[in-house]
Amino acid sequence: MNNLLLPMLPPARKNQASEKISAYLDQLVFASEAEEIRLPSVRQLAAHLGVSASTVAIVYRRLKEEGRLQSHAGSGSFLKRDRRARSDQHIRLTVNLPTEDAVSTGTWYSQLFGGLTMAAMDARVRLTIQTFDTLPPFTPTGHDVALIVPASFYRADLTAWARAHRLPEVYLNPPSDNATENFVSADYFKASERLGRAFLRAGRRRILFIANTAYHRSTSNRLRISGLLSGLEYGSDDSLHFEVFFTGEATDAAAGGRQVARYFEKHGVLPDAIYTPGDFLAIGAYRELAARGLELPREAGVVGGTGLALDRTECPQLTRITHPYEALGREIVAVVQARLAAPHQSIPGRILPMAWLGGASTTPEENTLLFSA
């Protein structure tokens, strides 16, 4: 089949062949960012889908008459995006959050939904975001796609409900360690690996990871920890100490400070590097270290991982990873559209790079590595 790669499909359903072909082509379009998508030949697609070549030829001819398919000599056939179809689309997205969390100003969720809304506007899609507690949860009417975000609320309920009613699911972050489909995620591993290398180069020896969600319940925390350990080359130097503390769901600054105190009570020394997915947890840790007389960031580096606005804190330029909220929104919209176009087919997961903010709570040496292109 030369160099043309076709995603694998589950066993054929009892659809008409032309509908099956159209659904497959829609998947190709929505799974790609390109304005024109190269198509397989008539024979290749017929063999891949198990339909007749004549039926594929009819679909191709119809698309050509509509002006969406163009053939270029020596290059093959290309399918253009149907902008008119996108502009008329209305998607009802049900998320596994109570309304209070979804609308709280300045939170991680509000920034995510802001990016999602902007992406929908750019794509000319009318998007309705529905919280799980505002609708009858176990009836499929009024829902198009279930968006599962990292939260302790309703995740199991919404997942079971979506599957029971064959509602397409899209996950923010991989739903499991070996997941490869139907999710959009920031690249927690690579960002954390870079941080580990920065801590290692700066000579940090006592590294504390503080998280609100238990290790076994959070894929993103596991990715952060494994990336950090990779960058630290953990295990190659016995003088390097790494430990993980969990706050039991608390995400405020006071909880971060308590973990620093807990570390001191346990070891008799303070950590010289702290990394946490929560920016306010990081602020609390920063505050506690400073209160105990450490010169920051020379004697200890503190890094957050959300990218929130910290203007009213004692360290507004806290070093922190930020989520690419607008890019995540664009990718979620694209994957949601792809799932709607072919609800019985899975979409490859998409992982986006993360950027850095601040730099005040890490040393210039660490920042050289963290903020380098």
Q: What is the pLDDT of residues 108-152, one digit of tens each?
A: 788 888 888 888 888 788 888 887 666 555 555 667 888 888 865
Q: Per-residue confidence at 167, pLDDT binned at 50, 70, 90?
A: confident
Q: Per-residue confidence at 255, pLDDT binned at 50, 70, 90?
A: very high
In a domain, 1, yes or no: no
- Out of 90-99, 181-190, 203-212, 353-362, least confident range: 90-99
Residue from 123, 93, 101 nearest 336 by CA: 93
Q: Which two tokens stand for residue 277?
A: 């997915």
Residues 156 and 198 in one domain: no
In a domain, 204, yes or no: yes
Peptide bond into 271 cis (omega under 30): no
Distances (CA, A) of 135 to 23, 141, 147, 169: 30, 10, 15, 17
Helix (H, G, I), strand (E, B) or coil at 150: coil
Give the integer Cα–Cα distance in Å for 256 and 261: 9
Residues 98 and 36 in one domain: no
Q: Which of 36-40, 260-264, 307-311, 322-326 has the highest mean pLDDT?
A: 260-264
> For the domain that residue 35 is a member of, what is the CATH number?
1.10.10.10
Residues 180 and 33 in one domain: no
Q: Are 352 and 327 in contact (CB under 8 A)?
A: yes
Q: Are 112 and 327 in contact (CB under 8 A)?
A: no
What number is the average pLDDT over the span 347-369?
A: 95
pLDDT given at position 85? 46
Give the integer Cα–Cα distance in Å for 115 and 328: 7
pLDDT given at position 106? 66
Residues 108 and 129 in one domain: yes
pLDDT given at position 240? 96
pLDDT given at position 49? 78
pLDDT given at position 2? 33
Q: Per-residue confidence at 40, pLDDT binned at 50, 70, 90?
A: confident
> For the domain that residue 259 is a member of, what is the CATH number?
3.40.50.2300
Which residues on adjacent β-strands are paired with residue 265? none
Residue from 363, 369, 364 nearest 300 by CA: 363
How many secondary structure helices (H) and strands (E) does the chain include?
13, 15
In a domain, 10, yes or no: no
Residues 72 and 106 in one domain: no
Read off the pLDDT of residues 45-88 as tens digits, 9 standing for 90 and up: 888 777 888 888 888 888 888 788 888 777 788 888 665 444 46
- Out of 103-112, 207-216, 246-255, least confident range: 103-112
CB neighbour list of residue 166: distance below 8 Å, 6 or more residues apart: 343
Residues 197 and 286 in one domain: yes
Q: Are 145 and 169 in contact (CB under 8 A)?
A: yes
Helix (H, G, I), strand (E, B) or coil at 302: strand
pLDDT given at position 170? 93
**φ and ψ at residue 153, rounded to 5 degrees:** -95, 125
Number of domains in the chain: 3
pLDDT given at position 172? 92
pLDDT given at position 27? 62
pTM (two decimals): 0.74
Give residue 304's domain range.
Answer: 188-323+356-370
Please report the beta strands in 73-158, taking only residues with DSSP state E, as ranges in sequence order: 76-80, 90-95, 126-131, 145-148
Give the integer Cα–Cα distance in Å for 307 and 355: 9
